[in-house]
Amino acid sequence: MYAGATNGLAGESGCGKTWTALAAAAAELEDSNNVIYIDMEDGPIGLTARMLALGVPPGVLADPVRFAYVRPEEAFRDDVRSIFWALLDQMRPSLVVLDSTGESMALEGTDPNSDDAVALWFQRVATAIATRGPAVLLLDHLPKSDSAAPSPIGSQRKRAAISGAQFIQTIGKEMAFAKGRPGQARLTATKDRHGNFVTGEVSMTLTVNPAPSRGTSSVDALLGPIQDDEWAPTRHMLGISEFLEANQSPQTTAAIKKGVKGKSETVLAALQVLVASGYVTTSSGGRNATLHELVKAFSIGDAYSVPDGVSEGGAPAGGCGHPWHDAKCNPDWCHATHRGRCNKRTEDGYVLDDDGEIVSYPPEMVRQREEQLRRIAEREES
């Protein structure tokens, strides 16, 4: 967020905009800066609970010079403005969050669809605050059913009046977060007056992970750069990591696919990424099975490396995810003929050719057959 400028963050309801604002506020407080949070959406109890969950010390939140919670109940008239200017002079905050633009405009009696009215609101409220030094972050909503919109709902003057950067926040498939559930949101820059972000590209991510070491309700919410690697099934990667950590022993591919929710091919792709990224190691087990052991836990937002051949959708490019024939697979033929038995056979010790036909049987089965033949031969001799 740019200091001395108005910055916008818009998104659909439930995309985690407030968590992004709180993560930014927590980061400023951690850097010994001061923050003012103008809240017209939540309430002092809810917002304080979230800040505590992020690990902000209670003493910092209680310090009137470090953090100020403001809940306006009347318009930003001259008398109210003078009180707020005094607060700014006392605190000299690096960040002022306004949550949200729509509620503030309603309190001011501003028509959000009127260019002139919106321009006047910025002049009297948001821009007036920014000109006194802090970065101002304005939270707003998007037009209904249009998460690709480049600007918030209402007049285009909202976007035009942004003097810093405007971001649109979205949540990808299966990445929504809630209490006890990790996830990730993406922030796409749709305007940047200073040219540090490429318009139309994802500029940063908000990663939310439970932090049980600090308490059952604690979370880590971090704003960071976008992962440079290709697509990866991070939700499934987290599931595999938790499964291996819970079992505390090497697990076969079949056990992982059975124990982790998701499509078999997506779980397999996630496992490949974890191995390539050094989170999981492999070793040979009985009956030619591959065992997987957790080296270090994976959390959403951690760095990873996507191996060649893994594509969005889960299956290795050109194949269906069956390790015994990989890219040589003809999915239509394989699934219709073998119905997924290929992997089970290899894990049971069978050796298959490229068409899935048996080349050799498991050693134990061979031993049992040899024993049966020996007994038959002994009976015939006697």
Measured on CA atoms in the order 375, 377, 380, 382, is the torsion positive or negative? negative
At 343 the pLDDT is 61
Say if residue 70 is exposed, middle or buried (CB neighbours under 10 Å; 0-12, 13-18, 19+).
middle
What secondary structure letter does DSSP report for 19? Answer: H
In whole angstroms, how large is the CA radius of gyration of the chain?
Answer: 28
Q: Are 252 and 290 in contact (CB under 8 A)?
A: yes
Ordered strands of the 202-210 beta sheet: 67-70, 35-39, 95-99, 135-141, 6-11, 165-171, 183-192, 202-210, 219-225
At 366 the pLDDT is 81
pLDDT higher than 70, residue 21: yes
Mean pLDDT score of the chain = 85
Q: Are 36 and 87 in contact (CB under 8 A)?
A: yes
At 23 the pLDDT is 95
How far is C-alpha 22 from the geometric centre of its chain's CA atoms?
16
Tell me the pTM.
Answer: 0.68
Distance CA 287, CA 256 (A): 17
pLDDT digits 0-9 by tens, 175-192: 888 878 888 899 999 999
Place of tokens 């309603």: 106
Give the 3-state secondary structure of residue 377: helix
Do β-strands 67-70 and 35-39 pair in parallel, antiparallel, or remain unpaired?
parallel
Q: What's the N-to-C CA distance of the chain in angstroms?
A: 92
Query: Of residues 20 and 269, which shows the higher confidence score?
Result: 20
- Tell whether domain 6-225 is in CATH 3.40.50.300: yes
DSSP per-residue string spanning 137-160: EEEEEPPTT-TT-SS-SS-THHHH
DSSP per-residue string spanning 202-265: EEEEEEEEE-GGG-TT-EEEEEEEPP-S----HHHHHHHHHHHHHHTS-EEHHHHHHHS-S-HH
Where does the pLDDT of residue 352 fall: very low under 50, low under 70, confident under 90, or very high at 90 and above? low
Place of tokens 């919410």: 221
pLDDT higher than 70, residue 273: yes
Where does the pLDDT of residue 266 fall: very low under 50, low under 70, confident under 90, or very high at 90 and above? confident
Measured on CA atoms in the order 39, 43, 44, 47, is the torsion positive or negative? negative
pLDDT digits 0-9 by tens, 46-83: 999 999 999 999 999 999 999 999 999 999 999 999 99
* Residue range(s) of every CATH 3.40.50.300 domain in the chain: 6-225
Where does the pLDDT of residue 303 fall: very low under 50, low under 70, confident under 90, or very high at 90 and above? confident
Amino acid at 135: A
pLDDT higher than 60, residue 355: no
pLDDT higher than 80, residue 337: no
Where does the pLDDT of residue 308 fall: very low under 50, low under 70, confident under 90, or very high at 90 and above? confident
Query: Of residues 263 and 117, which shows the higher confidence score?
Result: 117
In this structure, what are the phi and psi dihedrals at residue 196, rounded to the nearest 5 degrees?
-85, -20
Nearest to residue 224, comparing CAs of 254, 253, 186, 195? 186
At 234 the pLDDT is 85
Q: Are 266 and 233 in contact (CB under 8 A)?
A: yes
At 165 the pLDDT is 96
The token duo for 83 is: 């009180």
pLDDT digits 0-9 by tens, 77-134: 999 999 999 999 999 999 999 999 999 999 999 999 999 999 999 999 999 999 999 9
The token duo for 115 is: 């260019």
% of residues, the chain, pLDDT over 90: 53
pLDDT digits 0-9 by tens, 214-229: 888 889 998 887 765 5
Distance CA 40, CA 71 (A): 6
pLDDT higher than 70, residue 356: no
